Structure 1
């Protein structure tokens, strides 16, 4: 069911929008996990909500939710739950989230439910319907590529750029921006994959989220440089697939990176 928003522009999450440079999940690869769809009977009565009108969010914000996060981390992203569900001891949080559809001021009202384990870590996410979930976790568009029937004489050289990050940070360094500029100038009109990685310090769920934040930061710069969103596939690999094995150096700076690759057939 679609509703109509007020003419006034929602500003609460303007900082998030600016950070992500309006990055859309339409150009992103599939997430590390996919939340469930819960029946309407599992959601509380909207009439009992403390914020019945919901809250406007860019879809990129709930996309950062990852199992294993703490309540304070979730609170920093989504704010207080909308059904008087407490910070301490409560095992379920419920939200009413509003997402613009891209058609004028039209928006969709969605319901999100979070479940916590005994250690009060995020255990399960569930959306009210598949359309709401797809607005956040929309898969990358599938493109048909013509296949040359002639056998390949030699494999083409992989074109890739690696950007490195400071510990526990997702900001792109100034030299990284310069490298991106040169890389894009040499590879105009190419489809690109943008994959984020972390070192092995910290919990795996946190590293998954951090790697995706790094990839989103790089993708945002690429969009600002004129790369079309459909030509980007963005994903986070966390601490998996390290550039250098972390047995002796868990915080190896070579593993804190984002790799931008020209995709085959681009």
Structure 2
């Protein structure tokens, strides 16, 4: 049985230097800042790296990838992440492939990631895939805090901004991937886990609305964990709204800078026993 907290600093952010220490991942993306003298061949339904238009991959804003959602048109996808990076065409094509560079959070280091978008018969976005599991882990990091060693108790924290669309209780594509990682971690480390899921908002908005939204988000997280194999009877789902803020930011108007400052307060916490 693996211990999630071995060799972990308190609140170590998954998706940066500690990905390999915590997550059980398959495959391997290009190493940080690799000159890639040996380019990856085609495999697992992805084209070879050598066929893309950008030598070394293209840097992308993580928030743009996080806004990708089911039902988007090809034009909407292009507005967010650009044209596909291979000569695949635009009309009638049901698969687009991209080669993105994502920073690891360790200085200027980055990894090169292959990303694939699939469209349905109506040419609306149906699903997306990453070639390597550590790539989506960079977009949605998970913080792990050890609360007690014996009996073991740990708290996992995920940003509400990346789990959910704005003002919504619908899980995002990358949010669902993050919860799949959480489920794997929990089921691997605990024989019969007890999981407390608590949703939080920031202080802007009506108090009762925020309380309701945080409860709906906790329930959405719980439902998805159940779909991944965690038993419903082992879950407790709570919404705390504006309670227990992590940061206190000045300003009474929800300007972009104030909302960014308050981002840590908009979160979902999972306490594991």
What TM-score bracket applies, with the shorter chain setting the length? 0.3 to 0.5
Q: TM-score, normalised by structure 2?
A: 0.44
Q: TM-score, normalised by structure 1?
A: 0.45
Higher relative contact order (CA 8 A, sep 6+): 1
